[in-house]
Amino acid sequence: MGNPTEINSVYWDEKTKSWQYKVVPVEEYHGYTECQHCRRPMSHNIKSEGEFKVVYVKCGCARE
């Protein structure tokens, strides 16, 4: 599996009180943390737009 070039991240939006999605470009990929339940990626460590950050995604058991 190759490194992703972009990730559809999810974040909680306080204004709308709902989950929002945002596609973030990936400059460097540094691995992920997996969900303890479904073993799928839950957060990714990346460099995006010149900054290191952790972005969250919806794992397999958290879909709505």
Nearest CA among 45, 31, 38 for reference residue 63: 38
Choice from 31, 38, 53, 54 touching Zn ion (CB under 5 A):
38
- What does the block give as tokens for 52? 């290191």
Query: Measured from the CB atom, is 7 or 59 closer to Zn ion?
Result: 59
**54 touches Zn ion (CB under 5 A):** no
Query: Measured from the CB atom, is 13 or 61 closer to Zn ion?
Result: 61
Choice from 3, 13, 33, 61 touching Zn ion (CB under 5 A):
61
Using an 8 Å Cβ cutoff, are 29 and 4 in contact?
Answer: yes
